[in-house]
Amino acid sequence: MTEHRSDPQLTDAGLLRHFLTIDGLSRQHLTDILNLADSFLNVEDRTIKKVPLLRGKTVATLFFENSTRTRTTFDLASKRLSADLIHININTSSTAKGETLIDTLRNLEAMAVDMFVVRHGASGAAHFIANKVSPGIGIINAGDGCHSHPTQAMLDMYTIRHFKKQFTGLKVAIVGDIMHSRVARSQIHALSCMGVTDLRLVGPQTLLPKKGHLWPATLFTNVEEGITDCDVVILLRLQKERMVAGLIPNEHEYFRYYGMTKERMLHAKPDAILMHPGPINRGVEIDSRVADGKQSVILDQTHYGIAIRMAILSSVMDTQVKTRQSRRIGYEH
């Protein structure tokens, strides 16, 4: 993935042409998405769980990595916006016969797909695609390598705002495998952008970012210290699929020193919320009593993912429709 133009994500007017990363977005962009998601939250309470915003538009999901939450909530979000939805099964698609990602995209473009939701193991994949697709087609990053998972960060901001009402003054700890986590990178950008100044990154030295001093956060290797007085504790999974061997002795040792137990959670504020993007590994980074306990908002995060993804899909489609209209008007003149 070598090709990068300057920020392909925003139009000159600052509208969301694609949704690729939190980096480069303003607090107003994030707040607009959170507020729009608010307006979509009750669609699920209707007899017919749909609004017509994407009627006649086609959304394609391309997941080169496994997913439960992201893919399913994008499916539901697309359907609740009345879009036509197609899944490209990578294992049975022609990419399995050697076709390049871009050739696959070009063929799907030829079928008049309006928007692609892409998860890929290579960092930068979504930017690469966004720089290649024709004008008028939107790309949503559903997670690229260790780089970015911006829709996850947005549903996390939604969850924090829901439970804590505001970001100013919050103490937030992200605990676990920070180094390999695209979720952590996107959360750090989003939390800083929303005004969180007390942000802690907690984990074994081997799983903390190498240039952590350059991040807007304080690093801790002791979990009890790191979560002390926190309002929000966010746990991360050990991402063994991205890890070179030997970064932790074993999962049992990791749980002993970093696993979130009821006893450890007592160091955070009594009304702290406990978050995790999922999938959770019980007995590794989280004890079942915490995962299923009163402070856990893990399933709320998944729930809010639908409204957030509806907001992102509709915002990007809105910009793309405007782009197509202005190109058509320019052509007519």
The footprint of ligand CP (CB under 6 A) covers: 67-70, 143, 152, 277-279
CB of 173 to ligand CP, least distance (A): 18
Q: Could you give the residue ranges of the DSSP H alpha helices within the chain?
A: 27-40, 69-80, 101-109, 125-130, 150-164, 182-193, 223-227, 251-258, 262-265, 288-291, 298-332
CB of 321 to ligand CP, least distance (A): 28
Nearer to ligand CP, 17 or 232 (CB): 232
Nearer to ligand CP, 41 or 280 (CB): 280
- Which residue's CB atom is positioned nearest to ligand CP? 70
Nearer to ligand CP, 204 or 277 (CB): 277
CB of 262 to ligand CP, least distance (A): 24
Nearer to ligand CP, 81 or 236 (CB): 236
β-bridge pairing 58-63 and 115-120 = parallel
CA 179, 185, 189 angle in degrees (round to 5)? Answer: 150
Cα maximum dimension of the chain: 69
Nearer to ligand CP, 70 or 295 (CB): 70
What secondary structure letter does DSSP report for 19?
A: B
CA 165, 9, 149 angle in degrees (round to 5)? Answer: 55
CB of 301 to ligand CP, least distance (A): 8
Nearer to ligand CP, 17 or 182 (CB): 182
Nearer to ligand CP, 123 or 197 (CB): 123
- What's the Cα-to-Cα distance from 312 to each of 29, 101, 236, 250, rounded to whole Å? 11, 23, 24, 39
Collect all residues with Cβ–Cβ distance below 8 Å to 160 and sequence separation of at least 6. Answer: 167, 170, 172, 232, 273, 275
Contact between residue 181 and residue 209 where contact means Cβ atoms under 8 Å apart: no
Beta pairing partners, 193: none
CB of 16 to ligand CP, least distance (A): 20
Nearer to ligand CP, 117 or 260 (CB): 117
Collect all residues with Cβ–Cβ distance below 8 Å to 40 and sequence separation of at least 6. Answer: 51, 80, 306, 307, 310, 311
Q: Which is nearest to 325 in space by CA: 173, 168, 135?
A: 135
CB of 252 to ligand CP, least distance (A): 24
The full DSSP string for 171-213 is EEEEES--TT-HHHHHHHHHHHHTT--EEEEES-GGGS-TTGG
Q: How many helices (H) and strands (E) does the chain have?
A: 11, 9
CB of 239 to ligand CP, least distance (A): 11
CB of 306 to ligand CP, least distance (A): 13
